[in-house]
Amino acid sequence: MQNWMEWAVAFFLLLGGCFVLIGSIGLSRMPDFFMRLHGPTKATTLGMGGILLGSIFYFSLLQSVSVHELLITIFLLITAPISAHMLIKTALHHQLRAIERTGGERELKKGQQEGSPDTKKALAGDDKP
Amino acid sequence: MRVTPRYSWLPTPYRSLLLLLVWLLLNQSVELIHLFFGTILALIIPWISGKFRDPQPLIERPLLALRYILLVFGDIVTANAQVAILILGPQSRLNPAFVRVPLDLQHDLPITILASTVSMTPGTVSADVYPCHDTQPGDAEITQRWLLIHVLNLEDEADLIATIKSRYEAPLKEIFQC
């Protein structure tokens, strides 16, 4: 393998690693559950993309063309928002509290109430513009 | 908007194409045998599973859909860099908020795509769609649906809502023609 190829592979691996690390830092550093979700859903996706790009480069240059890493990227892009959505819906259902300065308190309450079917009927007429 | 497919033996042409592509990627070859077997699978799987799905709007403008995917890819890269900066920056400067976006879309598939896009892009995670409704035929018509999103750092609420509506919702309306 040529020198510059090693540089390219190393660059993508390091870039990906950095973003995954930042996503994990966000997970532990943010003050409340809703803010914690942002790190793993976004930064980690790009990080995985970088690592998989490095993998594509490495195996394509070493052996024959290798593209099935693209599938991992596609499936990750499809599943990451869904899992984030399920987590945040669960948080709303359990009426988790956001930190004090979170704006849109009314919207949060509404989202939490909509989670339970009993209050849905009571709120149905409330939304008319 | 079109719900019923043009040919009954090919209910979802683009999903079939995607299945064939996935099959070829899994095998990492474009040999005739893989093309042949992949085509058979791509025809049979949507045909069998189509009967179990709720009817959803079909893609009317495939080129626009391709453009939308590229747009979202570009936005994912920039949004990731932005969120990384926000995470590493001082926390006291963050201004988290819940925002409600009024939806023009009415069907589950386009709303799901919009919610996923919002989750992947600019510092927002979609939290809920309400009022939720059952897709029973003869159900009361849907009036207005809202998308509840959580924003990591809210700067201008009206601006954010306008961005989501013009940048992501408008192309989806074009693609599905609804």
Look up tokens 């693209």; give the residue.
Answer: A70
Same domain, residue pair B48 and B132: no
Confidence (pLDDT) at A73 = 84
Instruction: Indicate if B168 and B80 belong to the same structural domain.
Output: yes
Record: contact A45-B80, CB cut-off 8 A: yes
Name the residue in chain A with its Cα closest to that of B124: A38
- B46 with B134, same domain: the answer is no
When mean pLDDT is compared across B3-7, B15-19, B99-103, the lowest value belongs to B3-7
Round to whole Å and give the CA distance between B44 and B58. 18
Query: For residue A44, what pLDDT is reported?
Result: 79
Is position B66 within any domain? no
> Domain range spanning residue B44?
13-52
**What is the pLDDT, as a whole number, of residue A114?**
60
Claim to verify: residue B122 and residue B46 sit in the same structural domain: no
Cβ–Cβ below 8 Å for A103 and B95 = yes
Is the pLDDT reported for residue B101 higher than 50? yes
Tens-digit pLDDT profile for residues B112-142: 888 888 888 767 888 777 766 554 444 555 5
- Percentage with pLDDT > 70 across chain A: 76
pLDDT in tens, B89-98: 887 777 888 8
The answer to whether residue B147 sits within a structural domain is yes
Q: Are residues B48 and B80 in the same domain?
A: no
Note the pLDDT of residue A110.
66
- Chain A residue with CA closest to B133: the answer is A120
Say if B4 falls within a structural domain: no
pTM of the predicted model as reported, rounded to 2 decimal places: 0.78
The per-residue pLDDT for B3 is: 67
Q: Are residues B80 and B22 in the same domain?
A: no
Classify residue B104: in a domain, yes or no.
yes
In a domain, B64, yes or no: no
The alpha carbon of residue A4 is apart from the nearest alpha carbon of chain B, in Å, by 24
Instruction: Report ipTM (2 d.p.).
Output: 0.76
pLDDT at B78 over 50: yes
Res B96: pLDDT: 80
| Inter-chain touch B120–A81, beta carbons under 8 Å | yes
Confidence (pLDDT) at A13: 92
Q: Which residues does chain A have with pLDDT short of 70? A: 1, 104-129
Same domain for B100 and B144, yes or no, is: yes
Cis amide linkage into residue B131, ω under 30° from 0? yes
B171 and B87, same structural domain? yes
Inter-chain touch B99–A37, beta carbons under 8 Å: no
Q: How far apart are CA B168 and CA B156, in angstroms?
A: 18
What is the pLDDT at residue A84?
86
What pLDDT shows up at residue A91?
A: 82
Q: How many domains does chain B have?
A: 2
What distance in Å separates the CA atoms of residue B160 and residue B105, rounded to the nearest whole number? 18
The interaxial angle of helices B62-88 and A3-29, nearest 10 deg, is 70
User: Per CB distance under 8 Å, which residues of B are interface residues toward A?
Assistant: 22, 25-26, 28, 76-77, 79-81, 83-84, 86-88, 91, 94-100, 115-117, 119-120, 123, 125-128, 130-132, 143-144, 146, 148, 150, 152, 154, 157
Chain A contact set for B97 (CB, 8 A):
102-104
From the candidates B71, B130, B156, which should be mutated to test the interface with A, based on the most A CB atoms within 10 A?
B130
Domain annotation covers residue B156: yes
- pLDDT digit string (tens) for A32-45? 888 888 878 877 78
B24 and B95 fall within a common domain: no
Spatial separation of the C-alpha atoms in residues B66 and B79, rounded to whole Å: 20
Contact check, Cβ <8 Å, B132/A107: no
Q: Kindly state whether residues B89 and B161 are assigned to the same domain.
A: yes
CB contact under 8 A, B119 and A80: yes
pLDDT at B61 over 70: yes
Q: Is residue B151 part of a domain?
A: yes
B113 in a structural domain: yes
For residues B100 and B37, state if they share a domain.
Answer: no
Lowest average pLDDT, out of B71-80, B127-136, B167-176, goes to B127-136
Is pLDDT above 70 for B111?
yes
CB contact under 8 A, A88 and B127: yes
B160 and B88 belong to one structural domain: yes
Select from B24, B116, B112, B67 the least CA-distant residue to A67. Answer: B24
